[in-house]
Structure 1
Amino acid sequence: MKIGLLFGSFNPIHIGHLIIANYMANHTQLDKVWLIVSPQNPLKKYGDLINMYDRLEMAKLATDNSTSIEVNDVELRLPQPSYTIDTLTHLKEKYPQHEFALIMGSDNLISLPKWKNYKLILRDYRVYVYPRPGYENAELASHPSVTITMTPLMELSATFIRKSIAEKKNVQYFVPDAVLEFIRNKNLYS
């Protein structure tokens, strides 16, 4: 089975993440998409990241009724900081029956040369790229391992959602109802 891996902090997961995952699972050569909840991106500051288990639970709530999108907690069990190449190697060993591919935004494709062992990633894995506003001209876009997709362009961000919640604004329809209820019940981001 061909499985696309969409890494993220999902702080919180929102409909933009789900649209990307659904597009990749249904409009590319991928059979399924696994959302990989990352405890901490080594290239980002810690900031206002909430508990990783709350982020994992929200991702599970958001994908509860999906047949093509699953949540995987592999990075929560690996040494930190978690590097994509290490996670890919671990998954390849644990699930030799699957073929894994990376899913990333065009912003990440631009910064890919900063990643640990990025040349190995490009050598050994397919990379499916979705567009991000303002990041259209990635040098690696023409690499043979890279597939640029026509995923619908989303300008929704978790930062916007967190800020809106903190300002007591309505975020209904930006996050799935079950996720919104979880956020309200735990008083997150306020």
Structure 2
Amino acid sequence: MIKTPKARRFLAAARGKTIAVMGGSFNPAHKGHLDVALYALRKLKADEVWWMVSPQNPLKTADGMAPFAERIASAERLARHHSRIRVTDIEVLLGTQFTADTLRTLVGSVRDARFIWVMGADNLVSFHHWAAWQQIFNSVVIAVFDRPSYSLRALSGPAARRFARMRIRERSGSLLRNRRAPAWVFFHTPLNPLSATRIRYGTG
């Protein structure tokens, strides 16, 4: 149940739309995030992209993690000229920590919206370590965007192999929003070498 008025208002605005959801620490937000969001809008025919800034990624250490407000602010600065990219603290509003719980709540709360989980190929490599990762595949359709040096590992990893039969062709990616989960697509998009880690430590 959605308890806070802010959360109810935010989710109400999603009704009838196709929403591409990108989660992450955004520590900090960078052009690689923006590139994926813009590709998602175009290739998935999404109405909006939600940048779901995580209070704390359960798979990452808190060392070197900027305060949540700073990470939200960095994402808002990067997206300020793109009205269809919405920066959100929805996990804080919902009180969820794991992506599987967040997506289950979103899908159950806004039944006439179509949600697409968007992630980079680097996340697909380790996806089988995520909490209830198979539940994620079975609850929403998924779009994976290539990252430098990750393509082969991602497509040969446990998650990709487990759901290999549910993968649709890249040229049909715009139809993903009309498919029922489990279904996913891998986009071989132009590769952006930027990473938040390299930016934080001055190597990118």
Q: Which residue of 1 aligns with 2:21?
A: 5
Q: Which residue of 2 aligns with 1:160?
A: 198
TM norm structure 1:
0.79
Counterpart residue type for residue 98 of structure 2: Y
Q: Which residue of 2 aligns with 1:181?
A: none
Q: Give runs of aligned pairs for residues 17-166 of structure 1, distance below 5 A.
A: 17-79=33-95, 82-137=97-152, 138-139=155-156, 140=160, 142-144=164-166, 145-164=183-202
Specify the SS of the correspondent of 1:4: strand
1:107/1:143 CA distance change after superposition, 3 Å: farther
Counterpart residue type for residue 150 of structure 2: Y
TM-align CA RMSD: 1.9
**Distance in 2 between residues matched to 1:118 and 1:159, nearest whole Å:** 24
Counterpart residue type for residue 151 of structure 2: E
Specify the SS of the correspondent of 1:36: strand
Q: How many residues align?
A: 165
**Distance in 1 between residues matched to 2:109 and 2:78, nearest whole Å:** 25
1:20–1:152 Cα contact (<8 Å) kept = no
1:127-170 CA distance string (max 9 Å, x none): 10011222223241634112011332111111221122xx9xxx
Specify the SS of the correspondent of 2:63: coil
1:22–1:68 Cα contact (<8 Å) kept = no
Q: Identity across aligned pairs (percent)?
A: 35
Q: CA deviation at 1:79?
A: 3.9
Q: CA deviation at 1:29?
A: 3.3
Q: CA deviation at 1:118?
A: 1.4
**Distance in 2 between residues matched to 1:151 and 1:79, nearest whole Å:** 34
Unaligned ranges ≥5, structure 2 = 1-16, 167-182
Q: CA deviation at 1:67?
A: 2.5
1:166-185 CA distance string (max 9 Å, x none): x9xxxxxx8xxxxxxxxxxx
Specify the SS of the correspondent of 2:201: helix
**Distance in 1 between residues matched to 2:45 and 2:185, nearest whole Å:** 11
Q: Which residue of 1 aligns with 2:180?
A: none
Q: Which residue of 2 aligns with 1:178?
A: none
Specify the SS of the correspondent of 1:60: helix
